[in-house]
Structure formats: C-alpha cells, structure tokens
Structure 1
Amino acid sequence: MTWKATVLTLFPEMFPGPLGLSLAGKALIEGLWSFEAIDIRDFATDKHRSVDDTPAGGGAGMVMRADVAAAAIDAAKVAAPAGSPAIYLSPRGTPLAQERVQALAKGPGVILLCGRFEGLDQRVLDARAIEEVSIGDYVLSGGDLAAQVLIDACVRLLPGVLGNDGTLAEESFAAGLLEYPHYTRPREWEGHAIPDVLLSGDHAKIAQWRREQAEALTKARRPDLWAKRGKS
C-alpha cells in the first residue's frame, strides 16, 4: 500500500507546494507516496460557503464550525487508507518529535486538518478523536505550512525516497543526539581547516570523534534531549 497524505485545507492551491520539488517531488512522481488535498469549503451548507462563525462567549476573530469540519473529516476518512490517524495542526498540540514522525511514516498515511482563524470548535476534536500536533512554539497564519513540514518529515523516511538508509541512521535525533559537524573540500577555507581526524583514514577514530561531537553538541544546545537519554 502506498503511503498517502490527505490534507483538509481552505487553500488547496497551496499543495503540494514544496512537496512537489526535490526528493519528495521525485518520490511523488515515482509513486512512492500519494497526496490528496480536500477543500473544506466544499462541505459548507450555505450559498456563501461559510466555514466559520463568531466565538461563543465573545472575543476576537472567528472559529471554524464543527459541522463543516466534521463533514470534511468524515469524507477524508473514506478517501484515506484505513487506519490513517487524523491530526489537527495546532500550536497547543503535542510537539512533533522524530519518534512520532517515524511511527507515522510506518503507517498507511495521515489525514491532516489545517486550521485557520482563531481555531477549531473543540467539539469536533473531541467527537472525532483528533490528535493535536505542534511543529513549534510559535503561531502561523494557518496549519498549511505545518502540514507540509509534517508530510516532508514522513516522506523522507519512506523506503526508496532518500536512496541511502545510512543517511537516516546518522542524522539528528536518530540516536537521541544532534548530528555531528560535517566538512568537505576545500581542505582549508578562510584559515579554517578540516579536522585532521577526518582525513586520517582511521574509521574507528572518525566514528569516535563524530560520537563525541554529537554528544557535546547535544549537551550544549539541547540539554533536554541529553537528560532524556540519561533516563532511558
């Protein structure tokens, strides 16, 4: 079964966007994954194709209606592979981590709901058991870019997309560490030289150096990841 990303959005023209380029785009053309964008406005019930209304209790902005969102989600579940989790991209969601990306990439695909306005009526999140996921502690104009980030993170893990499984084994978060520094020609650049150990040909010493560098970077930049390793 081909991994499929089903996206519910008010702006289907934003897709596939960057996902149609580079490795993800090539893999899409080759059929290593598939994609479908569903316009949420197609499920509006009035002539103006309204999908939002004023927030109950007052306040600024507008809120996406539960009935419209639910109808779109139900239609997406029919079109998506069985077992595809429904995810709402939201800054209040669980932070997206590599472990979750790996689990999603191993599944049949994902159904992604891209919010707009002030948010989505809580009742549809509860009624459809939708998972909330955040790509960072900041706010975007909508969930479309966040959906593209999640899809790209998953697609690059699919078999045959990168073409070199060793790349995945050594990159950041693969072993709970940030990735070690990389170097290439020229040997010297603006007075800076490639570390001698990388030119030594001693693969054991190179592996040890890379491990030490990864550990040092993780301790300095992501003490939360380092602490998590100590508890595992």
Structure 2
Amino acid sequence: MALEFDVITLLPEMFCAITKFGITGKANRNKLYHLHTWNPRNYATNHYRTVDDAPYGGGPGMVMMAQPLDQAITDAKTRQTDTGIKQTHVIYLSPQGQCLDHEKILQLSQLDSMILLCGRYEGIDERLIEEQVDEEISLGDYVISGGELAAMVLIDAVIRQLPGALGDMQSANQDSHVAHLLEYPHYTRPDNYKGKTVPEVLLSGNHARIERWRQQQSIGRTWLKRPDLLTKKYPAGLPDKEKELLEEFKQLQHLAINQQETDTTKGIGVTK
C-alpha cells in the first residue's frame, strides 16, 4: 500500500516541489506515496474566505481559526479511512514540537499515513491542537514563515526511506546521521582538480583499505564537526578500534596543517 500524506495548507501550490521534482517526484510517479492538499479557505464561513482573526488578550499578528482547520482535518481523515487506513496520525509542524531527527523519520516511515498541519501567522487556536493534533514536530530552534517548508522536509526525508524510492537503498543507509556519524568525503573524476588530488587509497582498488579509510574519515569528521554525535553513538566512550581510527585521523589533520603552513610560508617568500 502506498504511503498516504494529507496536508492542511493555505499554500497548496508549494507542494509541487515535492510531487513533481527529484527523488520525491519520481517516487510519486511510481505511486510509492500519494499526497493530497486541503486548503482551509475552502471551509471558511464568510464571503472573504477568512481563516484568521485577532488573538484574545491582544498582541501582534493574527491566529488561525479552529473551525476551518477542524473541518479540513476531518475531511482528510475521512479520505484516508475510505482508502483503507485504520488509524490516522495528525502532525502539527510547530516550533514547540519534538525536534525532527533520523530516529523520528524512521518511526514515521513505518506509518501507513499522516496528516500534516501547516500553521501560518502567529499560530493556531489552541483548542484545535487539543482536539485534533496527535503530535507536534519542529525542524529546530528557529522560526520560519509557515509550516509548509517544514512539512516538505519531513515528507522528503520519509520518502527516502521507502523501498524503491532510491536507486540504491544503500544510499539511504550510508547517509550522514543514519548511525550518528557524519558521512565520509566523496570524490569523482577528474582525479586532479586545480592541483588537488583524490586520496590515493580510493584509487588503490583495495576494498578493505577503502572501507577502513571511510570509517576513519566518518569518525574523524564527526569528532571535528559534531562531537555531540560521538557522545550519542558511544555514551560509554569510543571502543578501541574507533579510538585508533580517530587518533590516525588527528595525526593526518596535524600533518595537513603543518604542510599548509609550510606551503603558505614558501608562497609569501619568507627566508631565514
């Protein structure tokens, strides 16, 4: 059964970026998932299709009204039920939600369906959240103009986990953050670009050496850029093999820095 997405949004046109282009576009054409949008303005009760109003208690901005969102979500649930979905799951993309990470994406990819609620303005009437929302999810500790971009990020990440979405499922398994480690560096032709060469080990044809180098680079780059992920992966400390690889990486970094300083000194003509 294809994964069912229903999105409640004031800007349904934005989701063409998901359904028509790239990996998610191809997955859509291959019917790995279905995406339906529901515009709350279609459920407004006045001539102006109003979906927002001033907040009680005063303050800047406007708040999305409960009634149009409530009816849109209800219709989305009905559509999913009619397709055979037994249990719906409503997610509100909100800065107050759990931060989206790889573990959460894996959990969501096991669902049969989800309804994504995209907020705008200053937020959504709290009563609608209490009545209809099962979970709140955030992209991170910052604010964007609406939930559409956050919903598209979530959809893209989930679709990558669906069997058949990628040409090689190993690509998803080796992505950064999959194992709490950053990915090793990649190179392609030519082997010499502007004087910078591809590491010799990658040209050796020795698969054992290549795999060891990649593990070393993955651990080293994580230590260098995101040491918090190493703590997450190895809460009791690095195992002996990983310690050895990290020490080798540090030595290579030290040698590279020394070489760079030497080259710079030569380049500016410093003499003793």
Scaled to the shorter chain, the TM-score interval is over 0.9
- The separation in 2 between residues aligned to 1:129 and 1:113, in whole angstroms, is 8
What CA distance in whole angstroms lies between the structure 2 residues aligned with 1:87 and 1:219?
34
Worse-matched range after superposition: 148-157 or 120-129: 120-129
Q: Which structure shows the higher helix fraction?
A: 2
AA aligned to 1:22 is G
Match of 1:99 among 94, 98, 103: 103
SS in 1 for 2:109: helix
Cα-to-partner distance string for 1:168-221 (whole Å, 9 max, x where unaligned):
121111111111100111111111111111111111111111111111111222
User: CA offsets, 1:120-155, max 9 Å, x none?
Assistant: 112221222431111133222111111111111111
CA contact (8 A) 1:19 1:152 kept: no
Residue 169 of structure 1 is aligned with which of 155, 167, 173? 173
Unmatched 5+ stretches in structure 1: none
What does residue 231 of structure 2 align with?
227
Please tell me whether the aligned partners of residues 2 and 32 of structure 1 are also in contact (alpha carbons under 8 angstroms).
yes
Structure 2: distance between partners of 1:46 and 1:87 = 27
Q: CA deviation at 1:102?
A: 1.3
Q: Are 1:188 and 2:195 counterparts?
A: no
Equivalent residue, structure 2, for 1:111: 115
- Structure 2 residue identity aligned to 1:70: D
Q: List 4+ stretches of structure 1 deviating above 6 A.
A: none
Which residue in 1 is equivalent to 2:7? Answer: 7
Q: Does 1:82 align with 2:86?
A: yes
When structure 1 is superposed on structure 2, of 127-136 and 200-209 the one drifting more is: 127-136
Whole-Å separation in 2 of the counterparts to 1:47 and 1:122: 25
- The letter of the residue matching 1:5 is F
Q: Which one has a bigger Cα radius of gyration?
A: 2
Q: Using the alignment, how far apart are the partners of 1:101 and 1:193 within structure 2?
A: 36
Distance 1:85 1:101, change over 3 A: same
Give, as a single letter, the amino acid of the residue that structure 2 aligns with 1:13.
Answer: E
- For residues 13 and 20 of structure 1, what CA distance do their matches in structure 2 show? 11
Match of 1:143 in 2: 147
Q: Of the two structures, which has the highest relative contact order with CA contacts closer than 8 Å and spacing of 6 or more?
A: 1
Q: In 2, Cα distance between the equivalents of 1:130 and 1:10?
A: 21
Provide the identity percentage. 46
Question: Aligned AA for 2:137?
Answer: V
- The 8 Å contact of residues 91 and 133 in structure 2, kept in 1 or not, is answered as no
